[in-house]
Amino acid sequence: MKFLTPKNKPKEVKRIKPNSKNYVMNITGEISENTFVDWRFAEKDNDLVFNINSYGGDLTTAMNIYERMRKEKRKKICKSFGGVESAAINIFVAGDERIAGINDVFMIHNGKVNNKTIDELQFFMDYANRCSVIISKRLSDISIRPFEFWMDLFTNGKNNYFTGQEMYDLGVVTELI
């Protein structure tokens, strides 16, 4: 399959084809405590492929999935299918390879809270701030930008959108399709 790059030059599209070497999991929609990502039944020589199209959700669940993925010794391939937003960014950066379409959407922002008491709100904001530091460190480890660049995106009070091409230019995405 071919498509035109922004410079109108044909580019060959590489596809990860399902085969016995790949164990494919889909993470779509909202990430919640019900998000089930399980690779226990994958063969030991399988690469783990995570297809992600998520607008985010529960940060604690995303942090736990990240930790499980990083402990896994097998190759992890994260592919964006349309959008990787909010908490889903944390899962995407756990991949050894991170693949996105040129126009896929990535969004980084500070956490949002609805219908919380003052104590709950303070606890959540403290937790979100700690997670912002952790995720900014993870992004700076895999990209060409320093920790301060990423931290600013979490604290500037905006929803910060990037295309797959921009995330590739920043070094977060390792391959464009």
pLDDT tens, 63-106?
999 999 999 999 999 999 999 999 999 999 999 999 999 999 99
- Token look-up 């035109």 returns 4
Rounded Cα–Cα distance for residues 172 and 177 (Å): 14
Say what the pTM is. 0.78
- Token look-up 């600013």 returns 152
Rounded Cα–Cα distance for residues 15 and 10 (Å): 16
In DSSP terms, 132 is beta-bridged to: none
Q: 18-23: long-range contacts (C-beta < 8 A, 24 or more apart)?
A: 20/46, 21/45, 21/46, 21/47, 22/46, 22/47, 22/48, 22/49, 22/77, 23/47, 23/48, 23/49
**Does residue 8 register a pLDDT over 50?**
no
Is 76 in contact with 65 (CB distance < 8 Å)? Answer: no
Question: What domains lie within the chain, and their CATH numbers?
Answer: 47-176 (3.90.226.10)
**Does residue 138 register a pLDDT over 80?**
yes
Q: State the average pLDDT over residues 19-37.
A: 85
